[in-house]
Amino acid sequence: MDWSHYRFRSVWDLAAPPARVYAVLERPLDYPLWWPQIREVTPDPADDRIGTAVFRSFLPYALRVTATERPADPARRVLEAALAGDLEGWVRWTVLPHGAGGTRVVYEQEVVVRQPLMRALAVPGRPFFRLNHALMMRSGRRGLAAWLEAV
């Protein structure tokens, strides 16, 4: 088993229509406005499909990742990106109708950690890294819900 390999899946239920949620998620430059752990998103000046994000959750380290947008599927409300840098792999948002006018967002991510300290601590740190990710995702759901209510 590669202890630096992770698969994550989070499900967020939100009280906003799917089209509105999708419209927010397709603007990653705005993520720091509603997701506190995403500290910075910088677009690549040569290619608007590429950007670099810096994020930090509970544990005292920051990760830097370059995301390359894959072709979006607005009809199915699916957004995907390839990741490189401290994490290498992919991430996907799927936005689905749920309940009476609400939305279910499914977040999936599969990555290999490339950050040297996290690789060195892969076995003893794994439960803490997973918890760190869970806390970040919980905060992201709360931040997005508040953003959708306020905007």
How is the chain classified by DSSP, letter by letter? --TTEEEEEEEEEESS-HHHHHHHHT-GGGHHHH-TTEEEEEEETTEEEEEEEEE--SSS--EEEEEEEPPPBTTTTEEEEEEEESEEEEEEEEEEEETTTEEEEEEEEEEEE--HHHHHTHHHHHHHHHHHHHHHHHHHHHHHHHHHHH-
Percent of the chain at pLDDT above 70? 100
**What would the pLDDT profile of 39-53 be if each residue is shown by its tens digit?**
999 999 999 999 999
The answer to whether residue 151 scores a pLDDT higher than 90 is: no
Residues 36, 39, 40: CA angle, nearest 5 degrees: 135
Confidence label for 126 from pLDDT (cuts 50, 70 and 90):
very high
pTM of the complete model:
0.94
* Distance of alpha carbon 137 from alpha carbon 151, whole angstroms: 21
Range(s) of the domain holding residue 60: 5-150
**What would the pLDDT profile of 14-41 be if each residue is shown by its tens digit?**
999 999 999 999 999 999 999 999 999 9
CATH number for 94: 3.30.530.20
Residue at 30: amino acid letter: D
The single residue listed with the structure tokens 């905007």 is 151
* The total number of structural domains that make up the chain: 1
- In the prediction, which pLDDT does 114 show? 97
- In the prediction, which pLDDT does 1 show? 78
CB 56 within 8 A of CB 39: yes
Over residues 103-108, the mean pLDDT reads 98
Over residues 102-118, the mean pLDDT reads 97
The answer to whether residue 71 scores a pLDDT higher than 90 is: yes
